[in-house]
């Protein structure tokens, strides 16, 4: 899994792609793992390379992209840079270092590749030749650069860096510089997995082809985020075609106001006048990810309608820059626009969106009255889309049986061609289970799509223990996703059948279906879960006496709730990062808009029927009915749902005399990101299920 060769590491500039390296650091590269018996294992999952961003050269002839590799023994990862021809040929790794090389893109007309690297001790901007040689540091910013974009004329650099926005204890009491206490005076003092002390800001700097100089914070003195935490990146900012304006995303709120609102806007900063204009003022939900059209006449962005509703429909808005007129361009698509790119001639926009549990690529034709046409099909998800010359797109694609690879899509005949085969050497050693689409009639007479994943070498004459998978979000699609933790093929390889329903509250089946979960956590969505497992339990190959129920986040809440309502259907439960006590969840979480919208309000609002219905369905109220073994998993750096929720659920089970186990991670957030923690998660997960579902 680790390349044994150690090289000496040099300073800023080297003649080769690798540079020099310290003796005690091993380069993490592509794994040559050997898999026994054709069975997917946790180790084989973590041996897979993970493809990152891909960028096309200005002439459309080459693609640069990154791949992350993980080492379980070193308990860390590294990211390397690759270049290939636009048809997938000539694929070559051009870096091989212990540094994290990210955000690779083309500059100087395609003669150089710019990228971020921590080679100098901080994340800075570097460049190299197309073969990886002559690495050269371009920036010497005091802090870490987190993302960047060159202006179209190549003379300016837009980059993201953190600025301090909250005074520390030492700022107030300089003589207590070793004190660890944090003084809090407003909400949003914690977010996702950090105590909030800084905010990302956009900087504009000069670039003469050799060095980045004169950085200017275009939000200087403002305590707001751009891009927005916790997941926003450079995609939330955009250059106009004439290199004199920058569109950026920001929610200009702090503290309690930030915690209660999702109202972000698209701002345009004029480099000449230094003036900023809000072009989405009055649009009350999330407005994010602006993109100017290639002809410079329009700007498009994703927009939600309602303030406080983070899972509202993600609409595509197109604005005429001359008239200011805004158009809801994706109106005829009754789902979300997940990502988009303009066509080269600015006459249409290509976007990704989920429909019937698959994320496909679609085209909006402006000349045709915003007619929407699918460009792709099949049991897979497209994770990104960009231009590949004038007549093709490049996209990342995955499925329940394959991690991300890069593909091209012809705009002439919609032909899809696979460009990369990063993990083929691993897939060739693994037997995957069959993935089946089923439609089931729900308790209220609707049709629900359910994915069923069968064990490899499935034998219909045998009986298999079966798992009900409960999705998180709560409004994230159970599409053809690939997970390096909640991996359905991994579960199937352990001889389980997996039942994964697209229950009420998931996108891709119309907005009415999507919105049905808000304020109804213990209602129809739970009935949908019971429909899915009860229908599958009728099959002769399903061992109805050995059913399990697993899930994370809202799926973890679902497990805790079902544990008190399942009427002995299940023999084992696993809940990861779920909330157990909804009263406490309301006060413990950071993004209050989510709790207010989804739960309907605060638990003390006694005259609010929606809120009272929500809190009446708190899982902790039904612990007296718990009778089934349960494993609780949580990360202590999860500030979305605090680890005290899992601890309380575990304690309640033990006090009730219910067999229980707690897996707690002091150093993980809402996910499990470290390799050894990931392996531990998988081993604990299957040991628990095997103990209760495979014993006779």
Cβ within 8 Å of residue 687, ≥6 positions away: none
CB 575 within 8 A of CB 554: no
Rounded CA-CA distance 487/489 in Å is 6
Q: Is 666 helix (H, G, I), strand (E, B) or coil?
A: coil
Taking residues 264-279, report their average pLDDT. 98
Domain boundaries, the chain: 430-693
CB 362 within 8 A of CB 368: no
CB 2 within 8 A of CB 73: yes
Give the model's confidence band at 207: pLDDT under 50 very low, under 70 low, under 90 confident, else very high. Answer: very high
**For residue 25, what pLDDT is reported?**
58
Give the model's confidence band at 5: pLDDT under 50 very low, under 70 low, under 90 confident, else very high. Answer: very low
Give the model's confidence band at 15: pLDDT under 50 very low, under 70 low, under 90 confident, else very high. Answer: very low
Rounded CA-CA distance 231/288 in Å is 12
Share of the chain above pLDDT 70, in %: 96
Cβ within 8 Å of residue 295, ≥6 positions away: 241, 345, 346
In whole numbers, what is the pLDDT of the chain averaged over residues? 95
Rounded CA-CA distance 185/284 in Å is 27
Q: Name the CATH architecture for the domain at 430-693.
A: 3-Layer(aba) Sandwich (3.40)
**Catalytic residue set:** 553, 638, 670
Locus of tokens 């994964």: 500
Residue 576 has pLDDT above 70, yes or no: yes
Count other C-beta atoms under 10 Å from residue 297's C-beta: 13
CA 561: distance to chain centroid?
Answer: 26
- Phi then psi dihedrals of residue 563, to 5 deg: -60, -25
pLDDT in tens, 336-351: 999 999 999 999 999 9
CB 52 within 8 A of CB 94: no
Residue 696 has pLDDT above 90, yes or no: no
Taking residues 501-517, report their average pLDDT. 97
Cβ within 8 Å of residue 234, ≥6 positions away: 103, 147, 148, 149, 158, 160, 227
Give the model's confidence band at 695: pLDDT under 50 very low, under 70 low, under 90 confident, else very high. Answer: confident
Rounded CA-CA distance 389/391 in Å is 6
CB 183 within 8 A of CB 170: no
Rounded CA-CA distance 350/348 in Å is 7
User: What region, left, alpha or beta, does residue 681 occupy, with left being phi > 0 and alpha being psi -120 to 50 degrees?
Assistant: alpha
- Phi then psi dihedrals of residue 691, to 5 deg: -60, -40
The two structure tokens encoding residue 66 = 């990154």
pLDDT in tens, 581-630: 999 999 999 999 999 999 999 999 999 999 999 999 999 999 999 999 99
CB 160 within 8 A of CB 203: yes
């Amino acid at each position: 899994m680790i390349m044994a060769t150690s090289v000496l590491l040099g300073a800023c500039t080297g003649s080769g792609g690798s540079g020099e390296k310290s003796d005690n650091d091993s380069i993490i590269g592509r794994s040559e793992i050997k898999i026994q018996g054709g069975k997917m294992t946790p180790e084989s999952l973590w041996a897979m390379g993970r493809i990152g961003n891909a960028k096309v050269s200005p002439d459309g002839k080459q693609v640069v992209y990154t791949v992350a590799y993980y080492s379980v023994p070193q308990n860390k990862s590294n990211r390397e840079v690759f270049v290939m021809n636009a048809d997938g040929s000539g694929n070559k790794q051009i870096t091989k270092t212990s540094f994290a090389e990210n955000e690779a893109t083309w500059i100087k007309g395609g003669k150089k590749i710019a990228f971020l690297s921590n080679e100098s001790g901080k994340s800075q901007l570097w460049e190299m030749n197309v073969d990886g040689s002559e690495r050269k540091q371009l920036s010497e910013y005091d802090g870490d650069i987190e993302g960047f974009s060159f202006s179209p004329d190549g003379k300016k650099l837009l980059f993201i860096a953190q600025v301090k926005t909250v005074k520390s204890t030492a700022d107030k009491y300089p003589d207590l510089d070793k004190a660890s206490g944090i003084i809090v005076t407003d909400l949003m003092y914690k977010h996702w997995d950090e105590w909030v002390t800084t905010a990302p800001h956009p900087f504009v700097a000069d670039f003469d082809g050799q060095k980045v100089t004169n950085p200017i914070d275009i939000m200087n003195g403002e305590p707001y985020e751009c891009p927005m935490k916790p997941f926003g990146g450079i995609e939330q900012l955009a250059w106009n075609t004439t290199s004199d304006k920058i569109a950026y995303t920001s929610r200009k709120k702090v503290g309690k106001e930030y915690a209660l609102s999702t109202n972000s806007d698209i701002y345009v900063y004029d480099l000449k006048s230094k003036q900023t204009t809000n072009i989405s003022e009055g649009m009350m939900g999330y407005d994010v990810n602006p993109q100017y059209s290639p002809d410079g006449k329009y700007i498009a962005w994703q927009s939600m309608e309602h303030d406080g509703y983070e899972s509202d429909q993600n609409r595509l808005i197109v604005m005429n820059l001359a008239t200011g007129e805004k158009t809801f361009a994706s109106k005829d698509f009754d789902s979300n626009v997940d990502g988009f790119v303009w066509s080269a001639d600015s006459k249409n926009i290509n976007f990704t969106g989920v429909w019937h549990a698959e994320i496909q690529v679609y085209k909006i034709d402006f000349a045709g009255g915003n007619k929407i046409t699918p460009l792709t099909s099949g049991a897979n998800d497209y994770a990104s889309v960009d231009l590949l010359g004038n007549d093709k797109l490049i996209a990342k694609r995955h499925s329940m049986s394959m991690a991300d690879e890069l593909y091209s899509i012809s705009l002439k005949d919609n032909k899809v061609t696979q460009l990369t085969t990063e993990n083929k050497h691993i897939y060739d050693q693994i037997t995957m289970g069959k993935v089946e689409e089923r439609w089931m009639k729900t308790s209220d007479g609707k049709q629900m799509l359910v994915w069923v994943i069968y064990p490899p070498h499935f034998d219909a004459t045998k009986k298999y223990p079966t798992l009900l998978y409960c999705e998180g979000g709560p409004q994230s699609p159970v599409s053809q996703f690939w997970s390096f933790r909640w991996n359905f093929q991994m579960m199937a390889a352990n001889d389980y059948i997996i039942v994964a329903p697209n229950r009420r509250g998931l996108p891709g089946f119309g907005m009415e279906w999507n919105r049905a979960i808000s304020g109804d956590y213990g209602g129809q969505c739970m009935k949908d879960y019971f429909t899915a497992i009860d229908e599958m339990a009728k099959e002769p190959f399903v061992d109805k006496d050995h059913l399990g129920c697993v899930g994370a986040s809202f799926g973890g809440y679902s497990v805790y709730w079902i544990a008190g309502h399942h009427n002995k259907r299940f023999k084992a439960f696993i809940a990861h990062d779920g909330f157990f006590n909804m009263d406490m969840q309301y006060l413990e979480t950071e993004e209050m808009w989510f709790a207010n919208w989804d739960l309907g309000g605060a638990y003390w609002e006694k005259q609010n029927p929606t809120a009272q219905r929500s809190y009446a369905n708190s899982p902790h109220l039904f612990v007296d009915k718990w009778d089934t073994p349960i494993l609780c998993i949580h990360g202590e750096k999860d500030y979305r749902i605090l680890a005290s929720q899992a601890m309380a659920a575990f304690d309640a089970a033990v006090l009730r005399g219910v067999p229980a186990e707690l897996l707690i991670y002091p150093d993980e957030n809402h996910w499990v990101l470290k390799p050894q923690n990931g392996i531990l998660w998988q081993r604990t997960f299957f040991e628990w299920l095997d103990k209760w579902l495979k014993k006779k």
